[in-house]
Structure 1
């Protein structure tokens, strides 16, 4: 079997999301407009994004023994994610409490719960099971840091392209970076990790070089509506964002990273994979929620085609 799969090691949560015109200030209560309860977690979101982009995708993580377990597992399966490497552990499934205002901005409190039960042994067993089918490993930081560090090293030794989304940002041992091929922080995460105030493309380039100096091959610093900055030893590129009307930015970064992983697993060149990831991340902001907002391959292709057509028209007009 060809190695075209994506193995995602990370978090699985039930996302409890409240939508309101504005977010409350400290000690204040505001009336909301809507509420959702859906699959979430950065790991699960990235697995959904990779699967919806067309990659055979396996999720490695833990859920609890509560009602949220079925919400998580059914949600993953509905999007085509393989759940054979998910373990059920005593206790409760992880929960994310999300608040979204009318502009689409959000804040999030994550309670890991079952996600904290993921072990290095579980990761090793899953790598052994999926090794012959996997090309790309996706990692985040909502499971124990030691598990993520171990998974990066084990994934690299298995021959995977290792992609780390370092969110939520937290101190990491320098030794992890030598096992990471691609790192995908947003501006706030890049700032927290590097100590460089990332407030635009020039600062993003400096932050990207910080990661390269520590062994990462490719740093992709996402800047929201300002696009992304790609930094490698050979070149630096500022990639503009796609123009969309944002509704909710939840999971936009996960859609970006999941689509990137799927494109790389399919053998797409890096520039094309990055553009595909940018389109997926942009589309994810146009719908509310986490996993429900993640676009499929057809929607991404349509946005890319529309952007190409607009560029052709602009070229003809000039």
Structure 2
């Protein structure tokens, strides 16, 4: 985490990632194969891991810049207006021919969800767009936050550009897929949940001890630190020199959609402010806890004042 202190800007977060429209159906349970089930309600709103995390960082108080792509369809206006309303800078969001990315989400009564993502315009992110964004923002961003809903080749480009600019790199490796190990030395902090950590490392993460082993796997391959999140069981931070456990905030779960994104965005904003990592994790955990008490994706992400209220 040494690079967090090396950034040149005060509080700026650059988010490289996906911008989707979320089509969410709420129902008492998931339908069986071939079954038609009557649901309870429906929502259409801004989503995508990148966009959700940008909204979270902005609501956490950081100057936030989004780098991504939308289509030239009817959904583009919905997602860009929502990002803008949250205070996210859109100068480096590019419009490309075709459809804006879509996520189809089903949420059942217990608050759990399943998601199908269709990348569409997100696949158009390219190196030239990234180079323009970093050239413009290298002096104003302290942290770059990115995920895996855009092409992985571009994740590598973004991480290298951030490293060259002295910007702290946070990778939320979701949705998890096997990755080229060239990424890990470029990452200051990797933030998988237990499922993603299990898939990436081959270590079944179902306890703090196994989370420590998975965290060590990332650090051994060059990552500066690994923060394994485990929902209600809290999180485990592993660095080359230490291991620390961080408790979760207990709440009643309504909908887990965007909880990890709220965590990531508030974490990035807190690190960009220069907060110690322990405080950053505490604030991120509170943001995730508030998010699961609400329905929806980006709309459920809390503000800094709401996090303050919960922690007080």
What whole-Å deviation, never above 9, does each CA across 1:154-201 have from its counterpart, x for those lacking one? 111110110000000011111110000000000110000000011111
- 1:217 CA drift (Å): 1.0
In the alignment, which residue of structure 2 is the partner of 1:247? 254
CA distance in 2, matches of 1:272, 1:52: 17
**What is the CA-CA distance between 1:29 and the residue it aligns to?**
1.6
Deviation string 1:110-164 (CA, Å, 9 cap, x unpaired) is 0000000000111111011111100000010000010011111111111011000
The reply on whether 1:208 has 2:215 as its aligned counterpart is yes
* Equivalent residue number for residue 180 of structure 1: 187
Structure 1 length as normaliser, TM-score?
Answer: 0.95
Deviation at 1:221, TM superposition (A): 0.4
Aligned to 1:136: 143
C-alpha distance in 2 between matches for 1:274 and 1:229: 10
| Distance across 2 between alignment mates of 1:156 and 1:289 | 34
Q: Distance in 2 between matches of 1:48 and 1:191?
A: 28
User: 1:119 and 2:126 equivalent?
Assistant: yes
Give the number of the structure with larger relative contact order, counting CA–CA contacts within 8 Å between residues 6 or more apart: 2
Give the deviation of 1:2 after TM superposition.
Answer: 3.9
Q: Which structure 1 residue ranges, 5 or more long, are not aligned?
A: 306-318
CA contact (8 A) 1:3 1:132 kept: no
List gaps (5 residues or longer) in structure 2: 1-7
> Which structure 2 residues correspond to residues 287-302 of structure 1 after superposition, within 5 A?
287-302=294-309
Matching residue of 2:97: 90
* Aligned length in residues: 305
Partner of 2:264: 257
Q: Following TM superposition, by how much is the alpha carbon of 1:18 offset from its aligned partner in structure 2, in angstroms?
A: 0.1
RMSD: 0.9
TM-score (structure 2 length as normaliser): 0.97
Compute the displacement of 1:3 (Å).
Answer: 3.5
Q: Which residue of 2 aligns with 1:71?
A: 78
